[in-house]
Structures are given as C-alpha cells and as structure tokens.
C-alpha cells in the first residue's frame, strides 16, 4: 500500500514534465527553424559543389569550400599555398575586434563609474544620453563618422586650424577608420552593462578601502573590479561578437579595401559566386565566436570560484 502514493506521485511528475514540454514545443520549434535551421543550411552548403551561377549543386559533395578557407590552388600547376588574403582578413578581424573591446572598456569604465556616482535623480538623464545613438540607424551613424574623419572633415580641419598639421592626415579607408567607427558604434554596449553592475555596487566598501589606507589603484583592483566583473564580461561579449562580424562599418569606413570577415562572407555570396566558401567562412566565424564565449565564461567561472575560495 505504501507504494501506491509513490507511484501516483511519479505519474503526476511525469505528466507535469510532458505538459511542460508540450507547452514549450511551439517556442522550441520556432527557435529550431529560425536559428538552428539556417546553421544547418550553411553547414550543408559548405560541403557541396560550387554552382556555375552562384548556387550549389545539390547532391554533389566536396570539401573544396573548407579547403579554400585556409588554402588555395594555383590555377596553372595546382600548387597548394596558404590563402594569405583570407588569413590576413581573419587576423585583421580578430585584432580590430580585440582592440575595439579594450578601447570601449577604457572609455566605458570611467563613463559608467561617473554615471553610477551621480545623484540618483540624475542617473536616468545620463543613461538616456548614452542610449541616444541607438535612435539612429547604424548606417547613418557610420556616415556621420565618415564626415568626421575624412580629409576635409572635422578632425583634420580642426588640427589644421590649430597649426598642428600642414596636410590632412589620411584616416579614412584605413584600419584606424574602422577602429574609430566600431568604438563609436559599440561604446554604449560596454557602458550599459558596466553601469548596471556599478549601480548595485555598495560604495561603502570603497570608502572602507580608503579608510584602511588603500590607494586608488588598490581600491580599483581589489574592490571595484571584482564586484563589477559580471558587467565587464557582459560588456566585452556584447562588443567583441558584433565587432567580429561587422559589415557596415568596415564597408563604409574601410572603403572596400580593408575588409573584415563579414565583408569577405558577403563577397563570396555576392560577386564571388562561391556559396560553399561563403558558407564555410560563416561557420568558421561562428566557431570563433563560440571559442571566445567559452573563453570568457570559463575565465569568469574560474575567477568567481577563486574569489569565493
């Protein structure tokens, strides 16, 4: 007799699990179709034979797309060499994304700290000012940055008026232009998570650090940074991932010469008419993003465990 209540409880628990799965099934189907489905399409395209007019030959499989990501064959003697252009674009994309993340952190940390230390009734105003750029289309903001850094733009005109330079500095259509543009575009994505963490920071701990004769750098390193690390990690992820796959900013400010991964992928699906290579590059970009996320999460978890220990 004692087993009957246990059996009934197990059946009720199983029925509850089934009902939860049924209720969540529509959302899971949408996620699969809208997110996972396109990834499978890209994966399938990457192992198919390139078509004559920019498509793929269904039913014909080849590893040429993946091979062309890192290598290339000479059209005359089939000599295999490294795809220097692709590797250069990979390196430029990762380098500029890392520099953008560090630059937005350097600029965003004091900005978020400033906002978090303002009187409570004025913080909303400062946060509102930070979010204003999101009201404007990304393309318009990028063209605005182009007007600032071009040879006849605000920066060069001001420097010439002050007598700092005699000739305009060529900033536009360089890696520097792409960097300035991405820092400008993604800076709010660093400020907002940092501010969310700093707003919950108990500043009495900072005062206690000063009372114990700790210097500014010691207070920053031993108190503030460990407490706001979740916002720092979140901001770094929010900046690094879209920077790695940026398309509009490198296209406009790089002038098509200084391409990044997003531009290279678009080129293969467009003028290059090499869909398997474009699909393989897309999957490679996704893998890089996943590795970066795992690196961030693992370091954050390890630091958190060390801190609790």
* Burial zone of 104 (CB within 10 Å; 0-12 exposed, 13-18 middle, 19+ buried): buried
From-to residues of CATH 1.10.3720.10 in the chain = 84-308
**DSSP string covering 48-102:** EEEPTTSSEEEEEE-SHHHHHHHEEE-TTT--EEE-HHHHHHHHHHHHHHHHHHH
The one-digit pLDDT tens for each residue of the chain (309 residues) are: 456 777 878 888 888 888 888 888 888 888 888 888 888 999 999 999 998 888 898 888 999 999 999 999 888 888 899 999 999 999 999 999 999 999 999 999 999 999 998 988 899 999 999 998 888 899 999 999 999 999 999 999 999 999 888 899 999 999 999 999 999 999 999 999 999 999 888 888 888 888 787 888 888 888 888 889 889 988 999 999 999 999 999 999 998 778 999 999 999 998 889 999 999 999 999 998 888 888 777 766 665 555 554
Q: Do residues 200 and 116 make contact, with C-beta atoms less than 8 angstroms apart?
A: no
Q: Compute the distance between CA of residue 69 and CA of residue 66 in angstroms, rounded to an integer.
A: 5
* Predicted TM-score (pTM) of this structure: 0.84
Give pLDDT, residue 99.
96
Give pLDDT, residue 301.
64
**DSSP code for 223:** I
Q: Compute the distance between CA of residue 98 and CA of residue 88 in angstroms, rounded to an integer.
A: 15
CB atoms within 10 A of CB 66: 18
Cα 101 to chain centroid, rounded: 9
**DSSP code for 133:** G
* Burial zone of 272 (CB within 10 Å; 0-12 exposed, 13-18 middle, 19+ buried): middle
Q: Compute the distance between CA of residue 202 and CA of residue 290 in angstroms, rounded to an integer.
A: 34
**DSSP string covering 188-215:** HHHHHHHHHHHHT--HHHHHHHHHTT--
For domain 84-308, say whether CATH 1.10.1660.10 is its number.
Answer: no
DSSP three-state, residue 119: coil
Query: In 3D, which of 96, 101, 290 has the Cα closest to residue 186?
Result: 101
């Amino acid at each position: 007799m004692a087993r009957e209540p246990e059996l009934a409880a197990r059946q009720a628990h199983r029925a509850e699990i089934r009902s939860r799965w049924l209720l969540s099934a529509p959302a899971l189907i949408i996620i699969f179709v809208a997110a996972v489905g396109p990834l499978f399409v890209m994966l399938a395209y990457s192992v198919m034979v390139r078509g004559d007019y920019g498509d793929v030959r269904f039913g014909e499989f080849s590893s040429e797309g993946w091979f062309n990501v890192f290598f290339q064959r000479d059209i005359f003697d089939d000599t295999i060499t490294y795809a220097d252009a692709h590797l250069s674009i990979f390196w430029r994309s990762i380098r500029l994304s890392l520099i953008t993340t560090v630059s937005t952190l350097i600029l965003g940390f004091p900005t978020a700290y400033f906002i978090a230390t303002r009187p409570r009734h004025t913080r909303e105003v400062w946060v509102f000012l930070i979010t204003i750029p999101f009201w404007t289309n990304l393309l318009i903001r990028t063209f605005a940055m182009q007007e600032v850094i071009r040879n006849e733009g605000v920066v060069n005109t001001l420097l010439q008026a002050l007598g700092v330079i005699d000739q305009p500095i060529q900033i536009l259509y360089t890696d520097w232009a792409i960097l300035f543009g991405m820092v400008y575009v993604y800076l709010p994505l660093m400020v907002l998570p940092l501010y969310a963490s700093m707003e919950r920071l108990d500043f009495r701990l900072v005062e206690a650090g000063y009372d114990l004769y700790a210097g500014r750098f010691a207070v920053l390193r031993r108190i503030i940074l460990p407490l706001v690390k979740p916002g720092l990690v979140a901001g770094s992820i929010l900046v690094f991932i879209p920077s790695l796959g940026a398309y509009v900013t490198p296209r406009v400010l790089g002038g098509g010469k200084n391409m990044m991964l997003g531009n290279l992928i678009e080129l293969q699906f467009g003028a290059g008419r090499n869909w398997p290579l474009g699909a393989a590059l897309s999957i490679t970009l996704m893998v890089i993003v996943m590795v970066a996320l795992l690196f961030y999460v693992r370091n954050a978890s390890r630091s958190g465990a060390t801190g609790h220990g």
